[in-house]
Amino acid sequence: NIFSPSTSTAKTLTTFDMRIAGSMYLDANTLKVGASWRNLGGFTPNTGTLVFNATTSTRTIDNTGAATSTFGNVTFGEAATVATWSFSTPFVATGTVAMNYGTTSPGTQSMTLSGDLSIGVNGTFSKGSATTTFSGTQSKTWTDSTAAKQDLGNVSISGTAKTVALGSSVRATNINIVAGNTLNAGGANTFSVLGFWDNSGTFTPQTGTVAFIATSSSKTINQASSNFYNTTFNGVGGAWR
């Protein structure tokens, strides 16, 4: 079975749980899911937007067994919520990912993002053990509007001549800039790093600060040929080499 909501005029569809056993084409429509996502068949995002707008409880996003499962534009949280979205499978998105409300919790599942990433002032990211990879070919932005800045965990800039520019100050555990790719500080932003810095590509410092805030020893810094602008070492008990 194939489901395509509307191909002429963009519509907004609302559901509680979403279960796909056939094939769904979102086209330019918006789909709002108030609980969990289960894709057993195929999902094609086209230019549409998927909004996870649960207001309570832990909800799962599970693509186990799906033939196609890449998301496009995804928004977590539409209004104030205590919901948590937990990933059961790797999360891949080609469009903008906005974590506006609630908690996004990948756990052991990786995230691969080709578009912009924004964390709203009321958004929370609960880092897991896997890696968030900025992939693709286009220049995109990483913005965190929270006061404390959310630790994105392990972060890799690994596309094809990919540039990721910071739209604000951000935080990560470890950062890896793969050869041929660029991380741009985007101005006077602060990049707080709790672990290691491994640069095999290009870091454009602008007038920003890289703040190393580890609280344990044996953290490595490989800046290659890219200089920092401002650098601080603020972690109590941290040691770098």
What pTM, to 2 d.p., does this model score?
Answer: 0.96
User: 46: exposed, middle or buried (C-beta count within 10 Å: 0-12, 13-18, 19+)?
Assistant: middle
Distance CA 201, CA 27 (A): 36
Calculate the CA dihedral of residues 162, 114, 209, 127 and round it to 10 degrees.
-140
pLDDT-derived band at 23 (thresholds 50, 70, 90) equals very high
Task: Say whether pLDDT at 3 is over 90.
Answer: no
Q: Are 102 and 85 in contact (CB under 8 A)?
A: yes
Please give the torsion angle defined by the CA atoms of residues 230, 214, 216 and 87, in that order, rounded to the nearest 10 degrees.
-150
Q: Which pLDDT does position 1 carry in this prediction?
A: 79
Q: pLDDT at residue 8 above 90?
A: no
Residue type at 98? A
Tens digit of each residue's pLDDT (9 = 90 or more) over 46-101: 999 999 999 999 999 999 999 999 999 999 999 999 999 999 999 999 999 999 99
pLDDT digits (tens, 9 = 90+) for 161-220: 999 999 999 999 999 999 999 999 999 999 999 999 999 999 999 999 999 999 999 999
Q: CB within 8 A of 229, min separation 6: which ones?
A: 185, 205, 206, 207, 208, 209
